[in-house]
Every structure is written in C-alpha cells, then in structure tokens.
Copies of this chain bind each other. A is one copy, B any other.
Amino acid sequence: MAALSTILPLDALQAHGTGPLYVKLRQSLEKAIRSGALQQGEALPAERDIADYASISRVTVRKAVDELVQDGLLVRRHGSGTFVAKPVSKVEQPLSRLTSFTEDMARRGLTTRSEWLERGLFAPSPDEMMMLGLGPGALVARFARLRLGDDNPLAIERASVLAEYVPDPNVVTTSLYSALEKRNARPVRAIQRISACNIKSHDAELLGVSEGSAGLSIQRISYLPSGKVVELTRSLYRGDAYDFVAELTLG
C-alpha cells in the first residue's frame, strides 16, 4: 500500500476558502490515482486512516470516496477495503514495452472491439500440457477472441490459463488476474516469441484474408516468481494490418 503522505499532500486540503473539504479531498485522491501514485488494484488507505491523517471526520472522507466510487474510479469491498478500479480491458495484459493492441489502435484513431470465439474450461491440448507443464487430469481455461479495429478483424487472441487461477471462466471480464492481484502485484515474467507464419484457412477466414497470407504470431508465457507457468497466450495478427514497435537499448 502506498504511504499516505505520498498520495495526499496536506497543504492542498488546508488551503481554505476555495470550497468544501470533501471536494478538495476528492480532487487530491483523483489526482493520486491518475498520476499513478495509486496503482490499479491497489488498496486505498482505510477511511479511518485517511481521516486521522488529515484530521477530518471519517464521513467527510467517505463523501469524497463516494463520488470516486460513483465515477467508477474506486471499488469498495465491505470488510476488506477500497481499491483502485481496473479499466475494462481484461484478458490481455499490456505488453510491457511492445505497444499494446488497444494503445496502438487508439493512437490511429480506430475504435476497437472484440468478439468471443471460445470461452470455458477444457482438458488441455498436448500443446498446452507441454507449455503449461500439466498432467492429464488438469484443466485449463481457454479464452479466444477476435479483435477488431473499426469493425475490421485484425487479430485472433487465444489465452490458456491454469484453471485454478480462474474460478469461473464466465466472470473473466473482470477477474482473470484476481488470484494474482490479491497478492498485490507481485512481478510476473513473460517471455514472448515473435514469429511469422502463413495463415491457415480457418484463421484466414476469421481474419478475412486469403489463405496463406502473412501473419505475425506472438506467443507469451507468464510465470510466477517461482517459475511456475500460469498463462499462455498465442496471438495471430494480420501481417498487412499491424506491426509492433519496440524501443530497446543496445549495449
């Protein structure tokens, strides 16, 4: 959890005359969220702690938080805490340095949307068993989506996650990474394999290109710190419609 003093400058609250206390508090909190001082999924300090720290009543704190919850910036959990909400994006994690699909689409001014191709619990394919290190009895949750920019199909995303991390695959819109989130954003390593391939007929049809045209295949594996594999994502991008930009430093 972020320290109170780092997210709430007291002087901003004590400047008087400019309006109600709770409004200033709300603005300060909103600023902390947007600036990243409070990360996604991170817990806000307890209402009582904020109240003590700022020497104001808890109800006042509450009123400020109320409005941010109303706006969808925060989420309350009775008995647990108040947390910074996550944006709607779900299955895919932003590729750290490679620009993400949505980012790039937004930069081009395209609207993005997704169509589900597959979603549910399955017995792992031989491929998945090998990559995820599973035995025969295991289960994986599979999420496949067609991603579109301005209603043109651009990519197919197939994610396989160890079932134990996904209690209910139909709720995934919000909580795929919840198992990891609870542990407060412990680092997860991903390895990406980037390669080119000729698109097979089935995928070509989905993407609306002719069979055999070039596709960019990106495969990502996410590990726990221990090295245990939790997730396997295989994406296929249309070669003619998309490319990736990575910035890196050479020795």
A-to-B contact residues, CB < 8 Å: 1, 19, 30, 39, 67, 71-73, 85, 87-98, 133, 177, 183, 185, 187-198, 212-217, 222-229, 237, 239-240, 242-251
Contacts and interface: CB of A to CB of B under 8 A. Distances in A.
A242 to B, nearest CB: 7
A216 B19 CA distance: 45
B246 A98 contact: yes
A192 B202 CA distance: 30
A187 B251 contact: yes
Interface of A is mostly: loop
A39 B251 CA distance: 10
Contact of A88 (B213, B228, B240): B228
A248 B96 contact: yes
Contact of A214 (B96, B191, B214, B243): B214
Contacts of A213: 198
Given A95-B248, A190-B247, A194-B245, 18 more contacts: A88-B133, A88-B226, A88-B227, A88-B228, A91-B227, A93-B250, A97-B251, A177-B250, A187-B249, A187-B251, A189-B249, A189-B250, A192-B245, A196-B214, A196-B243, A197-B240, A198-B213, A198-B239
Tell which of A67, A95, A177, A192 has the most Cβ of chain B within 10 Å. A192
Contacts of A212: 198, 212
Given A98-B248, A250-B97, A226 B194 contact: no
A227 B133 CA distance: 45
Contact of A187 (B88, B133, B250): B250
B190 A226 contact: no
Contacts of A94: 250
Contacts of A97: 248-251
Nearest to A67: B183
B72 A224 contact: yes
Tell which of A91, A185, A214 has the most Cβ of chain B within 10 Å. A214
